[in-house]
Structure 1
């Protein structure tokens, strides 16, 4: 067929070509929309699946992978339908919550133990409970959980004017605590261990004195008894929640004094009795949320 004949044929049958072209463009458009929607929905499904896995797991979510998937959604993909805006807001909010929990995991010290408890809790380090000498005036009042292996900065090895000492149980605590982890020894004069713990899925920790269980909505990390220094000592101390089943440090029974630890008992007066009871040991609990 020569060029003149082709032009004549197209002139006579042009309306058919227009119809076929329109149908072809419509089919192509539908295919592109379906492909676009499928790709878009698949990306959202992957993101929501990541968030669902994080909510059910004790293992922290890989935020780098999630970030890559979020970046893969272009602005046009995110806004393709009217309901996308609400989906986007929910996804972003869940990501923010996940990031906040991961970056701000609740920290607490488990006094009297070398390990942490709970499936969603990790041990940062196991240490040695320490504080001021019981007979020093003007001493620091906040106890510390010192790492077992220190890392030194610059030093002179000359005595300063502030000191820190290891902590000892200064009572036997007979018939009060669970002795299962004390290796068959009395707690009197034994060195006190400690563990610094981090909750992987909760962002707030709270020590509640006077209770051995958490309030509704809070998760129990451990419970025990409130302990502090002797009321007649020169140095002030802080109240610690010591685990109900305390352990002892390897250094053990040497009665070298230092920072003393005693059970705390309630005293009536401004502390209302009979809600509280005179000389009854005060319990405590550490909770996270």
Structure 2
């Protein structure tokens, strides 16, 4: 029953009661029925408007840890797999990296020519290898893990820093990476500073590629940034 109908009924009932001597007034069955109905309405409407309290275990965030097969200690792993994305020379299609699960549920074979999903490789040579990064990563495939942290409502990747701001804690830190500037555009991601290969296989199969990013003076103010330096990053919660 709409709210205005109950308000009308309440007013009518009060007028009816107080129009008589309340001490001598006897409730009729219809009066009692109306009172019971109003009690039920008020009880259920109050319950419906009370916000539901969620426990800390019901709250959580997920993020991708690029370059690793596992999550930091104390975190749950949703799944692990291989980094993938669009072929680096494609002009259309997706413009982001994906963390592909290692146990896919494949669809049916198709004859369309829109092949837009490839594995991803480190395209990191001795000339562009970030300081402290593992050697011999050239043309090896990139692992990834989707991690879940309960009790938190946000996670943030901060480019240009290896530590988090006050009130935040670091999940991991590393180096900002993306596609090479001559190829198609794709998102920036934070590659773990202790990144590892997916396996021991090494072949120039291309696909989506990861290159370290460096800072460039000009529209980017130097200082505080410094020209031709590695861009660090950290993922904070």
Same fold (TM over 0.5): yes
Structure 1 unmatched ranges of 5 or more: 1-91, 180-184
Unmatched segments (≥5 aa) in structure 2: 1-49
What is the CA deviation profile of residues 124-169 of structure 1, one whole-angstrom value per residue up to 9, with x for unaligned ones?
A: 111100011111102311110001121124x233244251111111
Alignment of 1:270-285 (within 5 A): 270-285=219-234
Match of 2:101 among 132, 147, 152: 147
| Alignment partner, residue 204 of structure 1 | 154
Q: What RMSD over aligned residues (CA atoms) do the two structures have, in Å?
A: 1.9
Report whether the alignment pairs 1:218 with 2:168: yes
| Separation in 2, partners of 1:212, 1:272 | 19
Residues 177 and 167 of structure 1: CA distance in aligned 2, closer, same or farther (over 3 Å): farther
Other-structure match for 2:20: none
> Normalised by the size of structure 2, how large is the TM-score?
0.73
Residue 111 of structure 2 is aligned with which of 158, 161, 164? 158
Which segments of structure 1 move beyond 4 Å, counting only runs of 4 or more? Answer: none
1:263 aligns with 2:212: yes
Query: 1:140 touches 1:236 (CA, 8 Å); kept in 2?
Result: no
* Residue 198 of structure 2 is aligned to residue 249 of structure 1: yes
1:216 is displaced (CA, Å) by: 1.1
Q: What is aligned with 1:128?
A: 82
Deviations 1:195-225 (A, max 9, x none): 0000022221111111111111112100000
TM-score by length of structure 1 reads 0.60
Distance in 1, Cα, partners of 2:90 & 2:200 = 23
Q: Is the 8 A contact 2:59 2:151 kept in 1?
A: no
Matched, 1:239 2:200: no
Match of 1:48 in 2: none
Q: Specify which of 55, 65, 68 is matched with residue 113 of structure 1.
A: 68
2:57 aligned counterpart, secondary structure: helix
Partner of 1:137: 91
Q: Which has the larger radius of gyration?
A: 1
Partner secondary structure for residue 102 of structure 1: helix
Question: What is aligned with 1:168?
Answer: 121
Alpha-carbon separation, structure 2, partners of 1:111 and 1:281: 17
Considering fraction of residues, name the structure with more strand.
2
Structure 2 CA distance for aligned equivalents of residues 230 and 253 of structure 1: 20
